[in-house]
Chains A and B, each alone.
Chain A
Amino acid sequence: MKLIFEKSQAGRRGGELPRYDVPRAEVPDELKRGSPPRLPELAEPELVRHFTELSTRNFGIDTGFYPLGSCTMKYNPRVNERLAMVAGFRDLHPYQDEDSIQGALELMWRLQEALIEVSGLHACSLQPAAGSQGELTGLMLMRAYFADRGEADQRDTIVTADTAHGTNPASVTMAGYKLAKVATDARGNVDVANLRELVNERTAGLMLTNPSTLGLFDEHIEEIAQIFHDVGALLYYDGANLNAVCGVSRPGDMGFDIVHINLHKTFSQTHGGGGPGGGPIAVRDTLEPFLPVPAVVREGERFHLDFDRPKSIGKVRGFTGPFGVFVRSYAYIRSYGPRLREMSEVAVLNANYLLARIREAYDVPYDRLAMHEFVLSARSLKRDHGISALDVAKRLMDYGFHPPTIYFPLVVPEALMIEPTETEAKETLDEFAEAMLAIAREAEDDPVLLREAPHARPVKRLDEVLAAKRAIVKYGFEDHPVLGNETTEPRQLATRRAAG
């Protein structure tokens, strides 16, 4: 498919702008643009067709089953999209006077209250833009908390699990802490004996996902919390897997002091091809004074932005956070209410059912009940037939499914991390299970078919090594290298016909 720049025709444009009868202002010569930016030049019909064609070369939850582990790819109710576009939300400026934004502040306050209840903590800031920024904010809170207690120099280490999302150790470095890694035991829990060796008075805190990225609830969570609290350290809950335990078990009750909540996972903000997300944090009362400013507070019947927080860490992003995300997630929570527990129950039911359907054909590294997701290994397929987790993933595409997360968590070789979510029907789970079983048979009967997969996508398997080597990261216009061969058109047409 052509790039939009390759469709440009000089002088074309999408639309006209109003012209006003006012004197024309000029940019001083020394600041004036020299050569114009080479933006695309297309009439609106070509523009719409270009992006529509791009969309047909993409796969979303709306297209089909998307069991990308750790990402909670649940259906996004369309009413939430409509509500986020209501003029009273969409056309609101953050610096309007408080009397003209009461509805927005009330929505944010109500969302905070709901997140406090779900997390079992005491205060909430909606400001962080995504889960990873929630993590960094949480670590900043730890730093401010220990500085306030005169322990800033003493506390220099954060413990993370070897199953942790890559964001955890990356956040630790960005926050200026040292990292200690705790191992996983034979049942998939944190290795408590190893943990005891790592934790001491230099420890600032723990970052943990529970259920873990193995999809397992840590059976020793109370003991783990005790180990940290005994040395005066704090516990941070990576809320990426909160979809498993809403109304079932609350991070605050598990002993966590700081939690981030991924609004784009548990509370159904659309993922948008990579974002936006939302990463609010909820904290124990002892940490509330350090939360980002401004806080959204209620005073009687009025809602108010409170900047007067002398111990606050400051601001981690602009204004009060991604408001459109709050509208969608608040709407999602209101559509469930206390039935959020059922949401989690069905997520866990679906995961365990799918695991039961396909476990015979793949290796199961930890033989326990799963929570909302589970991790399989293609180790035996690799050993017996030379078929990797990657091959399984690519072949799933031919069956019309988005592949699961692969090669993560790192502690499982040839990992396939599968999260069906609660919004999938049993028939879909069955179809996916049949595909997984068929692929395991194909691995034996026709391994080349798998190694060359996918066969039914707009492109064949892509060369990621070449991409990194060439590092072509923008269109080069007249100097753009001709990378592809010239046989593209017939197949594109064939694909288009097949799609139509």
Chain B
Amino acid sequence: MLAAIGVSSVEELFRDIPKGVRFERELDLEPPLSEQELSRHLEELAARNVDTSRELSFLGAGIYDHYVPAVVDTVLQRGELLTAYTPYQPEMSQGVLQAIFEYQTVICELTGMDVSNASGYDGTTVAADACYVAKYATGRTKVVVTEATNPQVRQVIKTYAPGFGLEIVEVPHRGGVTDPDELRLAATDAACVIFQQPNFFGCLEPAPDLAAAANAAEAIAVAHVDPISLGVLEAPGAYGCGMAIGEGQSAGNYQSFAGPHYGFFAARNDYIRRMPGRIVGETLDAAGERGYVLTLQTREQHIRREKATSNITTNQTLLALAGLVHLSWLGPQGLREVGETCMSLAAFAQSRLIEAGLELVFPERATFKEFAVRTGRTAEGAIRSARERGVHPGYSLGRDYQDLGDALLVAVTERRTPADIDRLVEALAT
């Protein structure tokens, strides 16, 4: 090979690298491991974790322990899908392209929107994307977000805001939900209003009223929604939202210590040319047969460069595919049942905790799969003692809300049983 190239050594291949920047010593890394040694090393690291099959978990707050059907793993292990990249060459990539087209359809069906992209990074970055779209669609530079929206979503849009030239305004919750009148006032001159349904506390927002409040101020209503809730909760498109976004993890992805997952981004047709990311469209081949391609690419960085609607390139296609498989496995009936089951189990857990003498933080509110409960002591203390009984009872809300230092956010998915809930009650009641 060297002779064909016309050099005498591998070293010579690097002759264009100036001497001053050549790395002359060996990399200070541990010696190579064989596959067997590597497996042992990583399995040892994994064993230092206590996964949620070893400790009964009621943690949620954005990442949820929903059941992932085996068929998801089966599809994701197909090497033709797993080891392909972005389908720039559509004739090589009809499988991924058609899957994304189907995913886009499923997301539009769930959210009631006209168009979905092929995925964003996660539920936080799609919120930043929505702000960017809204800014250019409205020419306004204020973004309103409810305080009952996931704190990480709020943190991320604040990180992006200086570069985007945006001001972020938060609207406080009133007893666990947002007051539409207050939101309407804040929305004056705003590009968009972001709210979460169900919100971070698990409470059901008066979402149609919040969207109406945004629309009254001619700000784009952006709903941050949980896909697994959309078999029972109304689609944002049905109550006046311009965009619907969210964390896709609930549908098809393991918890995986928070990644990789996918964010979904869907919008009304009005915003299609300002959408970030890949979009797949239907077309014909030279023989007149149906096929799929990446489309509307003049939005994208590889064509439009500094005038692009986003810099996103690599996205989360494989995780979005997992979402498509899971939702297809469930079907409309299954999705509704998962939603009803989560909701009923969460309500059951609340009633059992009340019987045991605990108080809900927002007792007046309807909830979906999460709720906030007062522990009667610091939430950290409650977590500590519950964990001694092998139960992780939830997320300490005091980490984000100063006045809720005694409160836990408890998530109940369809994977928790009534017997599990008994263990939760025992762990928290003492």
Contact = CB atoms under 8 A, between A and B. Distances in A.
Genuine A/B complex: yes
Interface stretch (B180-188, B213-221, B289-297): B289-297
Nearest to B98: A54
A394 B91 contact: yes
User: Considering residues B62, B125, B319, which has the most beta carbons from chain A within 10 angstroms of its beta carbon?
Assistant: B125
B192 interface: no
B356 interface: no
Interface in A443-463: 452, 454, 457-463
B94 A57 contact: yes
Interface string B230-244: 111111001000000
Contact of B159 (A107, A140, A274): A140
B359 interface: no
- The contact size tier of chain A is 35 or more
A58 B80 contact: yes
B22 A249 contact: yes
A352 B50 CA distance: 48
A153 interface: no
Contacts of B343: 25, 27
Contacts of A86: 42-43, 46
B92 A457 contact: yes
A136 interface: yes
Contact of B289 (A36, A48, A271, A460): A460
Interface in A212-235: 216-217, 219-222
Nearest to A144: B162
Interface in B5-24: 5-7, 10, 13-18, 20-23
Contacts of A21: 418
B204 interface: yes
Given A28-B204, A59-B80, A338-B27, A34 B234 contact: yes
A92 B84 contact: no
User: Considering residues A91, A103, A120, which has the most beta carbons from chain B within 10 angstroms of its beta carbon?
Assistant: A91
A438 to B, nearest CB: 18
A58 B84 contact: yes
B128 to A, nearest CB: 9
Contact of B232 (A33, A320, A341): A33
Contacts of B132: 174
A20 B305 contact: no
A457 B284 CA distance: 14
Contacts of A38: 109, 332
A249 B21 contact: yes
Contact of A334 (B32, B89, B90, B291): B32
Nearest to B153: A318
B331 A41 contact: yes
Interface string A370-398: 00000000000000000000000110010
A276 B22 contact: no
Contact of A57 (B75, B95, B338): B95
Given A47-B329, A91-B254, A474-B108, A274 B82 contact: no
User: Considering residues B32, B280, B300, which has the most beta carbons from chain A within 10 angstroms of its beta carbon?
Assistant: B32
Contacts of B179: none
B159 A271 contact: no
Interface residues of B, number: 198
Interface stretch (A126-134, A194-202, A280-288): A126-134
Interface in A242-291: 245-250, 253-255, 262, 264, 270-279
Interface in A311-325: 313-325
B282 A325 contact: no
B27 A341 contact: yes
B101 A25 contact: no
Nearest to B93: A58
A12 interface: yes
Interface string B134-163: 000000000000000000100110111011
Given A48-B74, A319-B259, A3 B98 contact: yes
Contacts of B312: 130, 132-133
B403 interface: no
User: Considering residues A31, A68, A166, A475, which has the most beta carbons from chain B within 10 angstroms of its beta carbon?
Assistant: A31
Nearest to A461: B286
Contact of A274 (B1, B314, B331, B332): B314
A275 B81 CA distance: 11
B35 A32 contact: no
Interface string A53-84: 01111111111001010010100110101111
Contacts of A485: 287-289
B370 to A, nearest CB: 13
B327 A323 contact: no
A368 interface: yes
Interface string B41-78: 11111111111110101010111010101010111011
B48 A334 contact: no
Contacts of B325: 47, 51
Contact of B5 (A62, A333, A356): A356
A319 B152 contact: yes
Contacts of A13: 329-331, 333-334
B165 interface: yes
Given A39-B106, A90-B255, A104-B257, A334 B30 contact: yes
Contact of A273 (B71, B85, B289): B85
25 contacts: A3-B98, A13-B331, A17-B414, A18-B417, A31-B233, A36-B231, A37-B235, A40-B327, A42-B328, A48-B71, A51-B325, A58-B93, A71-B85, A88-B47, A166-B313, A172-B306, A174-B132, A247-B27, A272-B318, A319-B63, A336-B29, A345-B10, A356-B4, A466-B283, A475-B105
Given A38-B332, A272-B319, A473-B115, 9 more contacts: A3-B101, A14-B329, A31-B206, A56-B95, A117-B28, A166-B302, A176-B164, A248-B17, A474-B114
Top 7 nearest A-B pairs (CB, nearest first) are A88-B46, A272-B318, A58-B95, A62-B79, A103-B48, A14-B329, A274-B317
